[in-house]
Amino acid sequence: MSTYEDRLNALREELASRQLTGFVVPLTDEHMSEYVGAYAQRLAWLTGF
């Protein structure tokens, strides 16, 4: 499996263990900036997208 698949599977397992059906991944940083630095690329880190 790829790193992204591993990360997504871990997230799915955590969601299932907490009986949750979804998780919001914000596209902004903690300051709600339109353009975010590499450190805040959460969606890319999780999914490669």
Confidence at residue 34, expressed as pLDDT on a 0 to 100 scale: 82
Confidence at residue 16, expressed as pLDDT on a 0 to 100 scale: 98
The CA-CA-CA angle for residues 12, 5, 15, to 5°, reads 10
Domain residue limits, the chain: 3-47
Confidence at residue 7, expressed as pLDDT on a 0 to 100 scale: 97
Q: Is residue 31 within 8 Å of 37, Cβ to Cβ?
A: no
Confidence at residue 1, expressed as pLDDT on a 0 to 100 scale: 72
First to last CA, the chain: 16
Pick from 21, 19, 18, 27: which is nearest to 46 by CA? 27
Q: What is the pLDDT of residues 1-49, one digit of tens each?
A: 789 999 999 999 999 999 999 999 999 999 999 889 999 999 999 999 8
Structure tokens at 13: 């397992």
